[in-house]
Amino acid sequence: MKNLLGSSIKDLENVALDYGQAAFRGRQIHNWIYNYKNKKKNIDQIDVLPLDFRKKLKDDGFNVSELSLQDKNLANDGTQKLLLSTCDHQSIECVGIPTEKRLTACLSSQVGCPMDCKFCATGKEGLKRSLKVSEILDQILFIENEMNRKVTNIVFMGMGEPLLNIDELLLSIRSINEDFHISQRKITVSTVAVPKMIKKLSAKSFQVLGNCQFTLAISLHASNQETRETIIPSAKNYEIKNIIEDCKTFVRETGRRVSFEYLMLSGVNDKLEHACELSNLLKGFQCHVNLIQYNQIDEVEFQRTSLKNIQLFQSRLVNNGIAVSLRKSRGLDKNAACGQLRQNAKK
């Protein structure tokens, strides 16, 4: 199969020329694919193209979408979670998170995840495989189709570890920027942190994208190495102090501040002493901390920190000079945790 998702306008013009068509036919294909109001997914439904051209493309194995909708959940706050099936019968999740002025797409980069973070539902079944560019981009189209709105922001915070699929990740970002017309500054790449990969990310971004303007978010979730290792098994391979040093290098090379995701787990990492420890770890560094309420899942013993304790934790960080915000949880009434919809479907 030859998926057209991720192909540039020039690429599609060349496809048209290869079939003896005028170059503008390639532009028509491009406009058709990325029009969020277009609910059709098949080559033979691109009715602006001549019938014989459509037939030849389809006969030669070209397609637009390899994914299919398996299930969906609409939360009371408007958050839409989709469960999509791949051609090899795997399942991935993506989420549309709406506000009045924006629609954020939370995308998966892999089927499953190898990191096995103890608080996450996705890692319970391990990694199946990484996603192709077309499978990453198709998640955006499904969200736009289902919600009938243009996606404005992208976060790679769904299933998988993006930096373990770095080539497809960066090609996806290029297409998101050039084809979906979403600025890099509205894209966030979230990673649990993999040794040597933060440096590789900045270097390859300049090679593939010409610059590095997206936000890097580190799933830190702890203020010291010992605590981090108890909730993130892979942390034993990457000392927290080394993560911070690599992030400082990333800031120097890109000029972009780093965000640190901090999931508040009751009795584990939410004490005021942890806030002071985190402040000392990050002081004098161009960064921002996102405090996150935990979406509880049945398989693990972690509990959500009370809102009062989160606010005390936040105040301590602010008083210590750390830029911090509290991320409002969305979709809590509908399989909110990453991987839950997929797991429930399997059950």
Residues 174 and 191 in one domain: yes
- The residue from 63, 78, 101 where one domain ends is 63
Three-state secondary structure call for residue 149: coil
Residues 78 and 119 in one domain: yes
Residues 141 and 241 in one domain: yes
Residues 11 and 73 in one domain: no
pLDDT in tens, 120-168: 888 777 999 999 999 999 999 999 999 999 999 999 999 999 999 999 9
Token look-up 């036919």 returns 25
Q: What is the CATH number of the domain that holds 45?
A: 1.10.150.530
Q: What is the CATH number of the domain that holds 214?
A: 3.20.20.70
- The residue from 14, 38, 63 where one domain ends is 63
Residues 80 and 131 in one domain: yes
Residue 76: Cβ within 10 Å count: 9
pLDDT in tens, 44-90: 889 899 999 999 999 999 999 889 999 999 998 899 999 999 999 99
Give me the active site residues, please.
Answer: 93, 338
The mean-pLDDT minimum among 1-10, 173-182, 183-192 falls in 1-10
Which tokens in the block code for residue 318?
Answer: 């602010």
What distance in Å separates the CA atoms of residue 118 and residue 252, rounded to the nearest whole number?
32
In this structure, are residues 98 and 149 in contact, taking their beta carbons and an 8 Å threshold? yes
Report which of residues 124 and 16 the model is more confident about.
Answer: 16
pLDDT in tens, 217-270: 999 999 999 999 999 999 999 999 999 999 999 999 999 999 999 999 999 999
Residue type, 326: L
**pLDDT value at residue 343:** 57
Question: Which of the four pLDDT bands, split at 50, 70 and 90, describes residue 38?
Answer: confident
Residue 342 predicted with pLDDT over 60: no
Residues 49 and 73 in one domain: no
pLDDT in tens, 283-316: 988 999 999 999 877 666 789 999 999 999 999 9
Tally the domains of the chain.
2
Q: For residue 81, what are the β-bridge partners?
A: 73, 95
- The residue from 17, 37, 63 where one domain ends is 63
Q: Which residues touch 95 (CB under 8 Å, ≥6 apart)?
A: 79, 80, 81, 82, 105, 106, 143, 158, 331
**pLDDT value at residue 158:** 94
Residue 109 predicted with pLDDT over 90: yes
Beta-strand relationship, 187-191 and 153-156: parallel
What distance in Å separates the CA atoms of residue 287 and residue 42, rounded to the nearest whole number?
44
Residues 41 and 81 in one domain: no
Which tokens in the block code for residue 74?
Answer: 């609409």
**pLDDT value at residue 40:** 72
pTM of the model: 0.93
**pLDDT value at residue 338:** 60
Residues 40 and 73 in one domain: no
What is the pLDDT of the chain when averaged over all its residues? 92
Residues 310 and 179 in one domain: yes
Question: Which of the four pLDDT bands, split at 50, 70 and 90, describes residue 100?
Answer: very high
Residue 347 predicted with pLDDT over 80: no
**Domain residue limits at 11:** 2-63
Residues 99 and 52 in one domain: no
Burial of 85 (0-12, 13-18, 19+ CB in 10 A): middle
Residues 132 and 153 in one domain: yes
pLDDT in tens, 216-230: 999 999 999 999 999
Query: Which bin fits 276, alpha (ψ -120 to 50), beta or left (φ > 0)?
Result: alpha
What distance in Å separates the CA atoms of residue 269 and residue 275, rounded to the nearest whole number?
8
Report which of residues 119 and 150 the model is more confident about.
Answer: 150
Residues 55 and 155 in one domain: no
